[in-house]
Amino acid sequence: MLRMKRREFLKTSSLAGAGVLAANKAWSLNRLEPIGDTLAEEYPYRDWEDLYRREFTWDKIGKAAHCINCIGNCAFDIYVKDGIVIREEQLAKYPQINPNVPDANPRGCQKGSIHSAAMYEADRLRYPMKRVGERGEGKWQRMEWDDITEEIADKVIDIFEKYGPGKLMTHTGSGSQSMVRFAAPYRFASLVGGVQLDIFTDVGDLNTGAHLAYGNPLESFTSDGWFDADYIMMSMLNPSVTRIPDAHYLWEAKYNGARIVSVAPDYNPSSIHSDLWMPIKQGTDPFLAMSMVNVIIEEGLYKPDFVKEQTDLPVLVRTDNGKLLREADLVDGGSDQNFYHWDLNTGAPVMLRGTMASEEKTIALDGVDPALEGTFTVEGIEVTTVFEKVRAEAANYTPESTAKITGIAADTVRGEARHFSKAKKAILMLGFNVGRYSNGIYTGWAQALMLALTGHGGKTGGMDTSWVDWNHGAWLQLALYGFEKLPRLEPGGLGEFQRGHMIEHARKYYDADKLKERVGFNIDEMEEMINESIGEGWMPYNGDMKGLISIADNKFRRNKFVDKYRERILEEVEELFVDINVRMDSTAQWADYLLPAASHYEAWDLRGVGFHRFINVFSRPVEPIGEAKPDWDIMELLTRKIQERAIARGIEGYQDGDVTRDLHTIHDDYTMNQTLLTDYDATKWLVDNSPEMGGVSLEEAAERGFIVMNAKGGNNQPIPVDEPYRPFVAQTENKKPYDTLTGRVTFYCDHPTFEKLGAMVPTARHHAGSEASNFPLNYYSPHTRWGIHSNWRSNKFMLRLQRGEPNIYINPKLAAQKGITDGSKVRVFNSAGEFFAQAKFYPSLPLTSIMMEHGWEPHQYEQWKPMNNTMATLIQPLELAGGWGHLGFKLFKWNANQLAHESGVDVEPA
């Protein structure tokens, strides 16, 4: 070969490579002959072409979606050959539900489309393993399933024996977004009373402002409901990147005449498709929303009829103490959940119907004409209306006065407020990012006020929160053991903050005075309010744990102050740390025991969350790799061993409050007396027992790949058969009360914490940001196009589409000031930590912020120093309020978020 000329070699080598594979036998290069015309008859190595032809042959096609936290939920055909998935393809067979609305096909994204490659990559967990070195040292020993689960079972029982129930955390993270994968560990947690954090708040995804206003942050549009809107403003949202399968409905709405506005500090990949980009200064959204409210009220753009019926704006408030006027104020033994309007028709107060205390489940006014404005006297008590309070607060936020804060000119605000108010159907889309700002609650609340004032609710628009809480009753029954026994459910952000001792780091990091000036409280006051909330029982917290079984959660990557958090948690769960995972992620790495789970294409399952009406089916197209097992089966085996060992050790139940934790029957209970032994059994049980799935058989559903939910799938109201789902139509059309204290959209909260922080009506506050720290730059970390958090981040196809290693985004002008060039290595730092990354120029970023997409695994960074070390965090005490109507701990609906964007940093060449 060495004697061959270079040109001759090039001519032959590519064919030779293919020939080797096709012939599947040893080949030595000295037998190569130069080939002339490759299409000629006598060309000897024609067979290689079959290799490519055979690429498009398969043994069978199965069905699956991806169960990760992408919010997408897309049905795929999975092509299998010789027991290996060779590729996947979007199913694209969803029916069009209405000829005037585009269909949902094809659903999918580039990550889902390369999973067949990722599932066989080197980080895949294939065998049960036990740590043999120190935690995190990376020394493992393979074990048999039987032995490893028996060892774990004994340790679980030891923890119960030593400490009683309540010391085992069995948290399932956001990687289990399908029904059976989710139900398995939750059912286990229900039986053992394990601690389970709220997954919305432990990642910072809860739109608490929406709950405060509507009593339900998860009543939203199906994505096809965007199509007929004529005004859409999106804030803190980047749907072209983070809602890939659904974003088309937005851009299709433009053909329908919609005006689309993007509010974002950077000209993000969704802003580029918008009619208007509002380059807002990071963290100032409540000021923009309040300035819009100001214009709407000052210019009389509001709709009194809608406001009077649907909102609490006409509810009476005492002028002496600022409290809502309650029945208890007027009548001995009166309820503190009954309130009043001032009826203009009779000139007298009337009690509201439809409140939490009211027997009458309607908000219809039936002849009452409540006053919006004025001051009145009721039995010697002077009262005014919520509307008066709101108007007075909004008067502080003229567009001229907020322009300096937000960077948005007054004229632009006025223009948009008018467009928005006059729209027939207006949607305010608020991304999940809103939950990761300490002032996100203010943003959500003020935007709900914009919508309510202008009559945008039900068929005329509303807030889009990217998630509809569907009515999957049987699923909850399965996951929560028929509600007979429950996990120890806990607020997510708060649980992480407390258990991770984050307050110590926050106290060191923030400048106390500056923090108070920015967010309205300092760390000591925050601590007091946290203690008050736990002490009053507004929010549950279960204290230190002794053991941790972590399922589908990358907690040692996603948390803030993350390395310090990890050290603290590992110290706490000294006795047991089991990780159930598909991959060796940055959390699995530190475990004592690793249990390998089946990936998306290797188990039976259903996926029914998201914001469309399709439940996608996973038909276990291939058997799990190595010795991996479906999550359901792992829990089946673990409960089997716990039951065996409990009986062998003579253990009966442990009393735990009102219930017993029956470890000696836990397998019978988990499997419904040996009926739900496998992933298939559990999937079939769900299909057979869920009315919203319409009586279809699992076989039929698996053949098709999806189930179209029927009307029963709606929680708040039926899903219309041939129309998009729109939030709160039952309230606007049928006058059903909202799930709030007053039964109406709420803009007045006289809870003591709201009073203390001066937030009784929608208003504006700053986030902490660089100003509350000693570092000059703001910092935010949105989600990446090329991964779902840490999933697929190291995949070769995805890495080729980016810079191939962790990178920050920086404005070239700021970079020049700092002596940083495009592609060079930088150090990002603050007093909480540091990390190294490549600089990528991004001219639309403000000079005051740097951006970095989150989700890189710590081991992808130099020295394994991850970005989340520089992420300082705190708790928003308003989100801890309880004992007040609809404010009180509610899973996925009301509790405190973990905040991501509250820190300042600096950057320098490295």
Ligand X SMILES: Nc1nc2c(c(=O)[nH]1)N[C@H]1C(S)=C(S)[C@@H](COP(=O)(O)OP(=O)(O)OC[C@H]3O[C@@H](n4cnc5c(=O)[nH]c(N)nc54)[C@H](O)[C@@H]3O)O[C@H]1N2
Q: Site residues (CB under 6 A) for ligand X? A: 67-71, 173-176, 181, 203-205, 235-238, 241-242, 263-266, 268, 280, 282-283, 285, 431-433, 436, 551-554, 557-558, 580-583, 585, 597, 631, 780-785, 787-791, 854-855, 868, 871, 900
Asked whether position 496 contacts Mo ion by CB under 5 A, the answer is: no
Asked whether position 904 contacts ligand SF4 by CB under 6 A, the answer is: no
To Mo ion, the closest distance from the beta carbon of 870 in angstroms equals 20
Residue with tokens 């700002």, as numbered in its chain? 437
**What is the dihedral sign for C-alpha 683, 128, 799, 200?**
positive
Asked whether position 388 contacts Mo ion by CB under 5 A, the answer is: no
Residue 641, helix vs strand vs coil: helix
Which among 660, 666, 611, 614 has a CA at the least distance from the CA of 637?
Answer: 666
Question: From residue 558, how far is each of 285, 368, 499, 585, 623 by CA, in Å?
Answer: 24, 52, 15, 11, 30
Asked whether position 879 contacts Mo ion by CB under 5 A, the answer is: no
Size of residue set near ligand SF4 by CB under 6 A:
15
String of contacts with ligand SF4 for each residue 780-799, x by CB under 6 A: --------x-----------
Q: Which is nearer to ligand SF4, 178 or 773 (CB)?
A: 178
Across the chain, which distance is largest between two alpha carbons, in Å? 109
Residue with tokens 């290693």, as numbered in its chain? 805
Q: Amino acid identity of 134?
A: E
To ligand X, the closest distance from the beta carbon of 510 in angstroms equals 17
Angle at 799 between CA 795 and CA 800, to 5 degrees: 120
To ligand X, the closest distance from the beta carbon of 428 in angstroms equals 11
Q: Which is nearer to ligand X, 388 or 496 (CB)?
A: 496
Q: Amino acid identity of 597?
A: A
Q: What's the CA gap between 493 and 895, in Å, rounded?
A: 8
- In the chain, how many H helices and how many E strands? 32, 32
Question: From residue 859, how far is each of 69, 142, 146 by CA, in Å?
Answer: 21, 23, 31
Q: Which is nearer to Mo ion, 637 or 788 (CB)?
A: 788
To Mo ion, the closest distance from the beta carbon of 536 in angstroms equals 29
Segment near ligand SF4 (CB under 6 A), from 104-112, 423-431, 498-506, 838-846? 104-112
Q: What's the CA gap between 31 and 23, in Å, rounded?
A: 14
Find which of ligand SF4, Mo ion, ligand X, none residue 245 binds, CB within 5 to 8 Å per kind. ligand SF4
Phi-psi region of 673 (alpha: psi -120 to 50; beta: other; left: phi over 0): left
Asked whether position 66 contacts ligand SF4 by CB under 6 A, the answer is: yes
To ligand SF4, the closest distance from the beta carbon of 173 in angstroms equals 16
Q: What's the CA gap between 658 and 760, in Å, rounded?
A: 37
Q: Which is nearer to Mo ion, 210 or 698 (CB)?
A: 210
By CB atoms closer than 10 A (0-12, 13-18, 19+), residue 869 is buried
Q: Contact, 580 vs 549, CB < 8 A?
A: yes
Segment near ligand SF4 (CB under 6 A), from 61-69, 217-225, 418-426, 556-564? 61-69
Q: Amino acid identity of 451?
A: L
Residues 6+ apart with CB under 8 A from 571: none
Asked whether position 174 contacts ligand SF4 by CB under 6 A, the answer is: no
Asked whether position 108 contacts ligand SF4 by CB under 6 A, the answer is: yes
Q: Which is nearer to ligand SF4, 157 or 788 (CB)?
A: 788
Q: Which is nearer to ligand SF4, 598 or 759 (CB)?
A: 598
To Mo ion, the closest distance from the beta carbon of 523 in angstroms equals 26
Given 85, 109, 247, 576, the residue binding ligand SF4 (CB under 6 A): 109
Strands 593-596 and 129-131: antiparallel
Question: From residue 889, how far is each of 208, 435, 536 by CA, in Å?
Answer: 12, 16, 12
Given 88, 154, 205, 853, the residue binding Mo ion (CB under 5 A): 205
To ligand SF4, the closest distance from the beta carbon of 798 in angstroms equals 12
Q: What's the CA gap between 475 and 192, in Å, rounded?
A: 19
Question: Which run of H or E residues covers position 49?
Answer: helix 48-55
Q: Which is nearer to Mo ion, 207 or 355 (CB)?
A: 207
Asked whether position 203 contacts Mo ion by CB under 5 A, the answer is: yes
Find which of ligand X, Mo ion, ligand SF4, none residue 790 binds, CB within 5 to 8 Å per kind. ligand X
Q: Amino acid identity of 817?
A: Q
Q: Amino acid identity of 219?
A: E
Given 32, 77, 78, 111, the residue binding ligand SF4 (CB under 6 A): 111
Asked whether position 617 contacts ligand SF4 by CB under 6 A, the answer is: no
Q: What's the CA gap between 671 and 673, in Å, rounded?
A: 5
Segment near Mo ion (CB under 5 A), from 137-145, 195-203, 471-479, 710-718? 195-203
**What letter does residue 302 receive in the DSSP assignment?**
-
The CB density around residue 60, as the number of other CB atoms within 10 Å, is 11
Q: Which is nearer to ligand SF4, 342 or 604 (CB)?
A: 604
Residues 6+ apart with CB under 8 A from 333: none
To ligand X, the closest distance from the beta carbon of 580 in angstroms equals 4
Asked whether position 247 contacts Mo ion by CB under 5 A, the answer is: no
Asked whether position 239 contacts ligand SF4 by CB under 6 A, the answer is: no
To Mo ion, the closest distance from the beta carbon of 854 in angstroms equals 10
Segment near Mo ion (CB under 5 A), from 122-130, 203-211, 558-566, 569-577? 203-211
String of contacts with Mo ion for each residue 87-126, x by CB under 5 A: ----------------------------------------
To Mo ion, the closest distance from the beta carbon of 635 in angstroms equals 24
**What is the dihedral sign for C-alpha 671, 673, 675, 678?**
positive
To Mo ion, the closest distance from the beta carbon of 203 in angstroms equals 5
Q: Which is nearer to ligand X, 168 or 264 (CB)?
A: 264
Residue with tokens 């090039």, as numbered in its chain? 10
Asked whether position 564 contacts ligand SF4 by CB under 6 A, the answer is: no
**What is the dihedral sign for C-alpha 691, 695, 696, 698?**
positive
* DSSP symbols for 36-48: S-TTSTT-TTTTH
Chain residues binding ligand SF4 by CB under 6 A are 65-66, 68, 70, 72-74, 107-109, 111-112, 244-245, 788
Interface residues toward Mo ion, by CB under 5 A: 203, 205
